[in-house]
Structure 1
């Protein structure tokens, strides 16, 4: 009951937005409601990328960990919009980078999808848990490899991220770069980066097919050459 009430309050309109305020639940203290409205306003400003508004709300006491009822934090909202300045403000204010929403997204995992190196650097300042996984069971490295975000992969590989993490599909970042990539320069560079970082070239998928075998089937000559040079079979 308490959680339901708090969830409803997060959706209350903020007084500054104009219009009549929604009547407060009987017995609810004004201080708590004021904090709830500040947090809701902060979340909306973060989603819009309004850094000045975010700074103002933080100064007035909004929590840097403000979140929606589904668990999505202001920092994750900023990451989805690639709002670097907002992310910097929230992290400087102490925002926790790790909480995941109902879709299992958090700021780091979202950055792996967008490929924003600038956002990644901000999130890394907060010391995120690199082992958190998305709805497919993958770390931030895997969607980045899949989508051809070579600069992002290079930056993330400077951390202690597990280069051989296997997702729920049974694929590593290396397998995804080969299987889901287009065989072009970006994905080939990612294969090179992953191998240089120590990725196992013979870690096969659930059917026992190795990255080299996949690359050969696809006719990706440059990937085949790189995988063979790394000891792929």
Structure 2
């Protein structure tokens, strides 16, 4: 597959994520879209799906090989997928990320920022915080 085709598939994948179309995301991944290819701003597909709470798309991306702990770098879209889901209280997305090995104690900003639990507590999103604690998240000191 050439660079142009990869770029086109990536745009289609982000489009499917944006509208929450899991069937389209699955089709694009099946066609060869890279589940880790960042958009022009540095945002990962998994981060985009996590911040939207699209648990079904989160699951598809993880099953396709997306790293659960890869940090995004886009303006306004920086951080880990787990921090993004926890921040907005997306419990189902948090469950999927944890099931695929996301680190419940990994702080965003390359270890210098907030943890997923800090985001969930700030929400406040008690269900999400409970999931993180059950997975081994330790409160910030």
User: Common fold, TM-score beyond 0.5?
Assistant: yes
Q: Which has the higher relative contact order, 1 or 2, with Cα contacts under 8 A spaced 6 or more apart? A: 2
Q: Cα distance, 1:90 vs. partner?
A: 0.9
Q: Where do 5+ consecutive residues of structure 1 fail to align?
A: 1-29, 167-233
CA distance in 2, matches of 1:32, 1:137: 34
TM-score, L = length of structure 2: 0.86
The residue number in structure 2 matching 1:143 is 119
The residue number in structure 2 matching 1:104 is 78
Runs (4 or more) in structure 1 with deviation over 4 Å come to none
The residue number in structure 1 matching 2:131 is 155
> Which residues of 2 match residues 59-78 of structure 1 at below 5 A?
59-78=30-49
CA distance in 2, matches of 1:53, 1:111: 21
Q: Cα distance, 1:144 vs. partner?
A: 1.0
Q: Where do 5+ consecutive residues of structure 2 fail to align?
A: none
CA distance in 2, matches of 1:140, 1:44: 26
Q: Cα distance, 1:124 vs. partner?
A: 0.8
Q: Cα distance, 1:56 vs. partner?
A: 0.7
The residue number in structure 2 matching 1:217 is none
Length, aligned pairs only: 136
CA RMSD of aligned residues (A): 1.8
Contact map agreement 1:141 1:153 (CA 8 A) in 2: yes
SS of the residue aligned with 2:2?
helix
Q: Cα distance, 1:73 vs. partner?
A: 0.9
> Which residues of 2 match residues 56-205 of structure 1 at below 5 A?
56-102=27-73, 103-134=77-108, 137-163=113-139, 165-166=140-141
Computing the radius of gyration from Cα coordinates, the structure with the larger value is: 1
